[in-house]
Amino acid sequence: MSAGDGAMIVGHLHPDLDCLTAIWMLRRWGGRQDAALRFVPAGETLEGQPVDSDPQVIHVDTGGGRFDHHRTNDHQLSAAELVRRSVAPDDVVLERLIRNVTRIDHAQADVSPIFNVNDMIAGYHILYPDRSEVVVVLMSNSFDAWYAQEARQLRLDAAFGTRIEFDTPWGLGIAMESDDGGSSRLAFGAGAVLYVYRDKQGRTGIAARSRSQVDLSSAYHDLRRLDPAADWYLHPSKRLLLCGTAKAPARVPSKLTLDQLIGVLRGDFLF
């Protein structure tokens, strides 16, 4: 798919998440990065022309064409999913992202009641009424960030497959090492009370469930004795023990291995 001088993407007025992600994919993967944008009332086509009659004009989420799921009652489909299948069918990160978009579009996802992607889109429409093209540009940056986070989560999922499970005085512990560090969602979702992680920069942490009875004070004192040069920090909650974060890089990272950190938490000093 190439974009000539007359290339155009047509969405509906006040574009929603589904329409916006479809446009984003056409621009990033579909060769339409320079296509002009037009917006029509939902369900209609540009100037009433037959949908998909002009290969230079792509309608998304409107008009009943190849990129409009409203002609079906399939809850596995969305305009974004139809575009994904066309422009990047083998991209596993994108498949994961658009699966969530489709679930949100069909009201099948439990999105955060505090603030979510639909709230952000609504806010942009408040700031830029009748300027849908501006909302497209602003949300495209957000979709790029969402894509990067989904890619990171897939890497974490793979790394979690090689995790170490161990017993602690408070219950199950999980340790993992990856380029991206650890994931409290994965560890706690697997039943862990606390988890240990290390990333490719050598940043190391031990974190416990927020409402647990875990107190890492003893572990902190042991680490200060066994690893005295490292910049270990015990959070006031006593449930978070860190040696370097993105917010506060360690001047001296920990020299201890993941197995040694597990030994500290179990209390068996075999090193």
DSSP state of 48: G
Q: DSSP state, 70? A: G
Q: What is the CB neighbour count within 10 angstroms for residue 33?
A: 11
**pTM for this predicted structure:** 0.89
Residue span of the structural domain in which 256 resides: 162-266
Confidence at residue 5, expressed as pLDDT on a 0 to 100 scale: 60
Would you say residue 1 lies in a domain?
no
Domain stop point among 157, 184, 203: 157
Residue 26 and residue 41 in one domain: yes
* Residues 166 and 130 reside in one and the same domain: no
Q: Are residues 44 and 176 in the same domain?
A: no
Residue 271 falls inside a structural domain: no
What tokens does 112 get?
Answer: 């955060």
Among candidate residues 176, 206, 178, 209, the one with its CA nearest the CA of residue 192: 209
- The answer to whether 53 and 42 have CB atoms below 8 angstroms apart is no
Type of residue found at 21:
T
Tens of each residue's pLDDT in the chain, 271 residues: 333 467 999 999 999 999 999 999 999 999 999 999 999 999 999 999 999 999 999 999 999 999 999 988 899 999 999 999 999 999 999 999 999 999 999 999 888 888 999 999 999 999 999 999 999 999 999 999 999 999 999 999 999 999 999 999 999 999 999 999 999 999 999 999 999 999 999 999 999 999 999 999 999 999 999 999 999 999 999 999 999 999 999 999 999 999 999 999 988 765 4
Q: How many helices (H) and strands (E) does the chain have?
A: 8, 9
End-to-end CA distance of the chain: 60
For tokens 């020299």, name the residue.
255
Q: Are strands 194-198 and 204-208 parallel, antiparallel or unpaired?
A: antiparallel
- For the residues of 149-187, what is the DSSP string, one character each? HHHHHHHHHHHHTT-EEEEETTEEEEEEE-TT---HHHH
Check residue 269 and give its pLDDT.
60
Same domain? 136 vs 33: yes
